[in-house]
């Protein structure tokens, strides 16, 4: 730590620029060590890739302002240091139209460009927007608990806990609600987060470019088990998905007693599978918290 402190900003000596460059270089190296495997920067699906590209574009656009600020901060400090007696210093400026115009015009142009980018990307990357696919999509209903994720497959008639499995290169449509506190669902390698709230059904559409194993988690703090409120995500081939469904068919039934045990606050260390769940299970969870009038106007789920 002392080494870092010795790189601190004392008087502006002639080697200040060298120190600043070294500090920036070390920071970049250390950052690259932790970001090399970041799924946000190495996406595995078109949604996450588009979000990554948007992040990079916005970051690059902001550097138009940030880089000159740092360059001028270093340059001004060097040019007008106490020992530099030859530099002209004229603080009595009554008018500087060029500088005033640059200071106002450049940020204004960046804001306009950012606004256009955000407007377009907000509609293009709408999580409710269905992804077109010739072979259809995989439907999954999600119920969040403390601190678990229950995944229901209405078409296949099976359920899993803390493990989301779906075919690669095929869209997956998630419909989410909560049977406890408000949470969120985030799979950084595939797309952004969407909140899950009691009495409401929210949606998220994702797609994996190929087979792979990823990590999902709750990105909204919800108590003691928040750090372990994670789940495994596997994008597999159609054959592997069929094998996984067959193995789930051999598991116990997700009945009222089993769900009551799952609903108890606690962290699940190993994924679970269930061979069957009652029809309308997801819908009944919604109706526990929503008003009858609201449920009449909302779509029903099998």
pLDDT digits (tens, 9 = 90+) for 137-190: 999 999 999 999 999 999 999 999 999 999 999 999 999 999 999 999 999 999
Angle at 34 between CA 28 and CA 29, to 5 degrees: 20
* pLDDT confidence of residue 77: 86
* pLDDT confidence of residue 218: 95
Residue pLDDT, tens place only, 220-235: 999 899 999 999 999 9
Give me the DSSP letters along the chain. Answer: -HHHHHTS--S--TTHHHHHHHHHHHHHHHHHHHHTT-TTTS-SSHHHHHHHHHHHHHHHHHHHHHHHHHHHHHHHHHHT-TT--SS------S--HHHHHHHHHHHHHHHHHHHHHHHHHHHHT-TTSPPP-TT--EEEEEEEETTEEEEEETTTTEEEESEEEEETTS-EEEEEEESSS-EEEEETTTEEEEEE-TT--EEEEE--SSSEEEEEE--S--STTGGG-EEEEEEE-HHHHHHHHHHHTTSPPB-HHHHHHHHSS---SS-EEES-B-TTHHHHHHHTTS-HHHHHHSPP--
> Is the per-residue pLDDT at 5 higher than 50?
no
* pLDDT confidence of residue 12: 40
Instruction: Return the closest-CA partner of residue 143 out of 274, 296, 297.
Output: 274
* pLDDT confidence of residue 103: 82
Residue pLDDT, tens place only, 45-103: 999 999 999 988 988 888 888 898 899 899 888 887 888 777 676 767 677 788 788 88
Q: Give me the mean pLDDT over the 11-37 stretch.
A: 50
Give the residue extent of every domain in the chain: 138-297
* pLDDT confidence of residue 2: 40
Residue pLDDT, tens place only, 242-294: 999 999 999 999 999 999 999 999 999 899 999 999 999 999 999 888 777 66
- Protein fold of 138-297: Immunoglobulin-like (2.60.40)
């Amino acid at each position: 730590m002392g080494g870092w402190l010795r790189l601190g900003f004392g008087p502006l000596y002639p080697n200040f620029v060298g120190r600043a460059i070294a500090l920036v270089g070390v920071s970049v190296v250390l950052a690259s060590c932790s970001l090399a495997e970041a799924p946000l920067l190495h996406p595995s699906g078109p949604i996450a890739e588009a979000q990554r590209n948007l992040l990079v574009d916005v970051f690059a656009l902001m550097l138009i302002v940030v880089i000159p600020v740092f360059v001028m901060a270093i340059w001004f400090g060097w040019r007008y240091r106490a020992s530099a007696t030859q530099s002209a210093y004229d603080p009595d400026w009554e008018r500087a139209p060029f500088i005033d115009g640059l200071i106002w015009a450049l940020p204004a142009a960046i804001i306009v460009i950012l606004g256009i980018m955000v407007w377009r990307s907000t509609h293009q990357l709408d999580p409710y927007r269905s992804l077109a696919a010739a072979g259809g999509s995989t439907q999954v209903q999600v119920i969040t608990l403390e601190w678990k994720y229950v995944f229901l497959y209405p078409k296949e008639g099976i359920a899993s806990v803390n493990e989301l499995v779906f075919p690669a290169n095929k869209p997956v449509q998630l419909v989410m609600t909560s049977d406890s506190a408000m949470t969120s669902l985030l799979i950084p390698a595939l797309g952004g987060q969407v909140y899950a709230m009691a009495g409401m059904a929210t949606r998220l559409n994702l797609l994996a470019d190929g087979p792979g194993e990823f990590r999902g988690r709750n990105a909204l703090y919800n108590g003691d088990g928040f750090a372990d409120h994670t789940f495994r995500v596997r994008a597999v081939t159609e054959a592997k998905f069929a094998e996984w469904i067959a193995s789930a068919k051999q598991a116990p039934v997700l009945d009222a007693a089993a769900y009551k045990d799952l609903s108890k606050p606690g962290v699940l260390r190993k994924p679970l599978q269930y061979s069957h769940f009652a029809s309308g299970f997801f819908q009944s969870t919604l109706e526990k918290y929503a008003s009858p009038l609201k449920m009449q106007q909302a779509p029903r789920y099998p």
